[in-house]
């Protein structure tokens, strides 16, 4: 009877392959649902704005310091998608799902090389496919264009390294280098890829009892390691010459707090399918908010698993040490590159800074499963698959709930309605230039300047007004994305001029000062110039301290609104058209607000 029960739980290679494909398909269905519930957010607008307005293969687009990132591949993909269908979510969604499918296959391919097609392969595969650790980075297009190519490369190059060391075939070195280069084009953190590949091969050799695993790995994989060193050296030169990285040490107390939030409130609960709940304040992304009981139980389970595996398996100490070291390295990189005066500890709980740890955990699990046992297992055979299936099912249930609660929070995105409304409203108001302004703070905060300006964000749209530093009809986009009539506040006003029936007479090509009724600090101001022009032409307008702006004027009595940067006690105006004279009267200088 026991033998019959045990035989029912045995899975041959063909059945394992079927179950694995089922897990991959199921995870892709879940991720497709997540992607369908997502939309453009924050950096997505920066990528789309630049990709839709700059030449596709230009250095201005591709070799660009994006908040410390060098990611020409991401800008290229965003540029292509934006040119085909500007601000249509379908193409970003397809790219996210396609990259996730490649990452899932790469992890399965690697696990198969480590474990073969046996039932134990399904455990690390399910861990990678469904862990909530990777969900926040997947759901955000800009983050996915960083995270998923790295996950693909970590698994694929490690698999190539294993085959290179086993067979000696150089084609695996070539494909490994090509994948590494591709990953570097999307995310500079991909510099870790060759090191993870080396560690995977060396740990596998160590587990299998090789007397000199480091030496054999270095010798057999030399073509890949040598080529990787050349690639990383060239990439380092390009990165350091392009990116102005701001490294800042947060101090031991703050660094510890970030580590605590990244570990106890971030990574560890995801090992049980947590965090189950998320917090958020818009426009920030959601962050993991596990309960205290989940945190405590997660730590207890992790420690118990570590102790149990160390007692039951041989030669796995280095596996645990290097896995923990990889995660700590990711947290350290976050601490020194993302810490600032306004940084909150919840940043670590967004999980996206160490999402690639999911691949490392899958490798760690596979290596531990493969490691030889210290003593014969005394658990009856039928009980083992039942326990494993129960644990996996519980993990999947928790992970799916965490994915659902994250997606529900993530779907609260003001950018969706803002873009929809702005697209329609801009198309309806093309009769006059729209004065430059930031988009709503619920879409992009001022820290994104100048990428938060409407001329950058909406540059890809074909049906829109021109964006200019001057306009004869003042309008603005309100927080809903609607184009509305606007006015200039009277922060300061232009003093009356001395010329009777004229005010300030500007009839020569040198600057004429227009005094204000008080000083203005250096900032972005809008001046309403009420003028009488003798003919059509152009004038130049500037703050007392600031760069001039060319402004078209029209014959007769008119008003023009000019966006100026600078400050001082007055304005400076001169004519740029021969024989043009302009009389300028009293008018406000301030900020633009809805009328």
From first CA to last CA, the distance across the chain in angstroms is 84
Helix 141-167 and helix 213-220, axial crossing angle in degrees, nearest 10: 100
Whether residues 515 and 371 share a domain: the answer is: no
Identify which of 141, 161, 149 has the alpha carbon closest to the alpha carbon of residue 102.
Answer: 149
Q: How far, in Å, CA of 428 to CA of 166, rounded?
A: 64
Q: Report pLDDT for 262.
A: 92
CB 271, CB 298: distance < 8 Å? yes
Is the model's pLDDT at 300 over the cut of 80? yes
493, β-bridge pairs: 588
pLDDT in tens, 311-348: 999 999 999 999 999 999 998 888 887 766 566 888 88
pTM of the entire structure?
0.92
Q: Is residue 427 part of a domain?
A: no
Is the model's pLDDT at 379 over the cut of 70? no
Is the model's pLDDT at 563 over the cut of 70? yes
Q: Is residue 415 part of a domain?
A: no
Whether residues 125 and 252 share a domain: the answer is: yes
Average pLDDT, rounded, for the chain = 92
Q: 393-400 long-range CB contacts below 8 Å, 24 or more apart?
A: 394/272, 394/273, 395/126, 395/127, 395/130, 395/272, 395/273, 396/126, 396/130, 396/273, 397/273, 398/272, 398/273, 398/274, 398/276, 399/130, 399/131, 399/132, 399/273, 400/30, 400/130, 400/273
Choosing from 358, 391, 410, the residue where a domain stops is 410
Whether residues 116 and 224 share a domain: the answer is: yes
Q: How far, in Å, CA of 202 to CA of 223, rounded?
A: 16
Identify which of 351, 355, 331, 327 has the alpha carbon closest to the alpha carbon of residue 257.
Answer: 331
Is the model's pLDDT at 378 over the cut of 60? no
Q: Report pLDDT for 8.
A: 47
Token pair for 408: 């529900």
Q: Is residue 67 part of a domain?
A: no
- The tally of domains found in the chain comes to 2
pLDDT in tens, 10-63: 678 999 999 999 999 999 999 999 999 999 999 999 999 999 889 999 999 999
Enclosing H/E stretch for 323: helix 317-338
Is the model's pLDDT at 6 over the cut of 50? no
Looking up residue 557, the CATH number of its domain turns out to be 2.60.120.260
Count the Cβ atoms, other than its own, within 10 Å of residue 41.
21
Choosing from 376, 410, 444, the residue where a domain stops is 410
How far, CA to CA in Å, does 481 sit from each of 104, 444, 566? 38, 13, 27
Q: Report pLDDT for 40.
A: 97
Q: Binning pLDDT at 50, 70 and 90, where does residue 4 land?
A: very low
pLDDT in tens, 93-124: 999 999 999 999 999 999 999 999 999 999 99
Structural domain of residue 161, as residue ranges? 12-39+89-410
Averaged over 533-558, what is the pLDDT? 96
pLDDT in tens, 68-89: 899 999 999 999 999 999 999 9
pLDDT in tens, 564-589: 999 999 999 999 998 899 999 999 99
What contacts 37, CB < 8 A, 6 or more positions away? 407, 410, 411
Q: Report pLDDT for 381.
A: 47
Residue 503, phi-psi category: left (phi > 0), alpha (psi -120 to 50), beta (remainder): left
Q: How far, in Å, CA of 402 to CA of 290, rounded?
A: 10
CB 399, CB 131: distance < 8 Å? yes
Whether residues 388 and 498 share a domain: the answer is: no
Q: Is residue 146 part of a domain?
A: yes
Enclosing H/E stretch for 485: strand 483-488
Residue 594 φ/ψ, nearest 5 degrees:
-60, 145
pLDDT in tens, 241-293: 998 876 666 677 778 888 899 999 999 999 999 999 999 988 889 999 999 99
Q: Binning pLDDT at 50, 70 and 90, where does residue 1 land?
A: very low
Q: Report pLDDT for 592.
A: 95
Identify which of 411, 407, 364, 346 has the alpha carbon closest to the alpha carbon of residue 135.
Answer: 407
Q: Report pLDDT for 31.
A: 98
Whether residues 374 and 507 share a domain: the answer is: no
Q: Is residue 504 part of a domain?
A: yes
Choosing from 391, 410, 429, the residue where a domain stops is 410
Side by side, the strands of the sheet bearing 592-594 are 475-477, 483-488, 592-594
Q: Is residue 65 part of a domain?
A: no
pLDDT in tens, 209-233: 998 999 999 999 999 999 999 999 9
Whether residues 404 and 497 share a domain: the answer is: no
Q: Report pLDDT for 2.
A: 37
Query: Which position has the higher pLDDT, 147 or 391?
Result: 147
Q: Is residue 75 part of a domain?
A: no
Is the model's pLDDT at 9 over the cut of 60? no
Whether residues 406 and 496 share a domain: the answer is: no
């Amino acid at each position: 009877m026991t033998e019959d029960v045990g035989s029912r739980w045995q899975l041959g290679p063909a059945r394992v392959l079927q179950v694995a494909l089922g897990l991959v398909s199921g995870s892709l269905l879940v991720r497709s649902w997540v992607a369908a519930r997502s939309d453009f957010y924050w950096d997505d607008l920066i990528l789309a704005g630049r990709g839709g307005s700059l030449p596709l293969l230009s250095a201005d687009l591709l070799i660009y310091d994006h908040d410390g990132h060098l990611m020409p591949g991401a800008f290229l993909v965003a540029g292509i998608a934006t040119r085909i269908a500007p601000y249509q979510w379908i193409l970003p969604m397809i790219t996210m799902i396609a990259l996730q499918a490649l990452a899932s296959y790469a992890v399965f391919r690697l696990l198969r090389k480590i474990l073969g097609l046996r039932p134990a392969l399904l455990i690390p595969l399910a861990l990678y496919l469904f862990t909530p650790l990777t969900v926040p980075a997947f759901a955000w297009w800009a983050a996915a264009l960083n995270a998923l190519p790295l996950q693909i490369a970590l698994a694929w190059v490690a698999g190539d390294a294993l085959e290179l060391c086993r067979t000696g075939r150089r084609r695996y070195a070539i494909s490994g280098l090509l994948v590494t280069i591709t990953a570097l084009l999307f995310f500079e953190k991909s510099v870790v890829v060759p090191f993870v590949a080396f560690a995977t091969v060396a740990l596998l050799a160590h587990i299998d009892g090789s007397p000199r695993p480091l030496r054999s790995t270095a010798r057999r994989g030399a073509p890949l390691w040598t080529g990787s060193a050349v690639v990383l050296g060239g990439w380092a030169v390009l990165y350091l010459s392009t990116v102005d990285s701001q490294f800042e040490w947060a101090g031991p107390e703050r660094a510890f707090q970030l580590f605590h939030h990244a570990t106890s409130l971030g990574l560890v609960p995801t090992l049980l399918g947590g965090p189950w709940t998320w917090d958020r304040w818009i426009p920030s992304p959601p962050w993991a908010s596990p309960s205290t009981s989940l945190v405590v139980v997660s730590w207890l389970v992790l420690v118990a698993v570590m102790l149990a595996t160390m007692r039951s398996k041989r030669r796995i100490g280095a596996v645990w040490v290097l896995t923990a070291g990889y995660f700590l390295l990711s947290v350290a990189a976050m601490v020194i590159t993302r810490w600032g005066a306004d940084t909150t500890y919840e940043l670590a709980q967004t999980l996206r800074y160490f999402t690639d740890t999911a691949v490392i955990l899958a490798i760690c699990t596979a290596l531990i499963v493969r490691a030889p046992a210290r003593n014969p297992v005394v658990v009856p055979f039928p009980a083992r698959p039942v326990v494993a299936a129960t644990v996996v099912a519980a993990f999947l249930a928790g992970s799916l709930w965490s994915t659902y609660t994250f997606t529900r929070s993530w779907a609260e995105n003001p950018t969706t309605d803002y873009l929809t409304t702005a697209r329609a409203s801009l198309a309806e108001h093309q009769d006059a230039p729209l004065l430059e302004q930031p988009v709503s703070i619920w879409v992009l905060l001022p820290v994104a300047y100048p990428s938060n300006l409407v001329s950058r964000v909406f540059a890809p749209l074909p049906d829109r007004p021109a964006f200019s530093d001057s306009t004869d009809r003042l309008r603005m986009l309100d927080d809903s994305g609607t184009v509305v009539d606007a006015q200039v506040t009277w922060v300061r006003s232009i003093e009356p001029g001395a010329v009777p029936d004229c005010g300030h007479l500007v009839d020569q090509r040198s600057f004429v000062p227009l005094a204000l009724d008080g000083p203005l600090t250096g900032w972005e101001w809008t001046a309403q110039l009420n003028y009488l022009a003798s003919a059509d032409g152009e004038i130049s307008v500037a703050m007392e301290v600031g760069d001039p702006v060319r402004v078209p004027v029209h014959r007769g009595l008119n008003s023009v609104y000019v966006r100026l940067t600078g400050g001082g006690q007055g304005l400076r105006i001169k004519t740029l058209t021969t024989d043009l004279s302009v009389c300028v009267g009293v008018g406000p200088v301030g900020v633009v607000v809805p009328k």
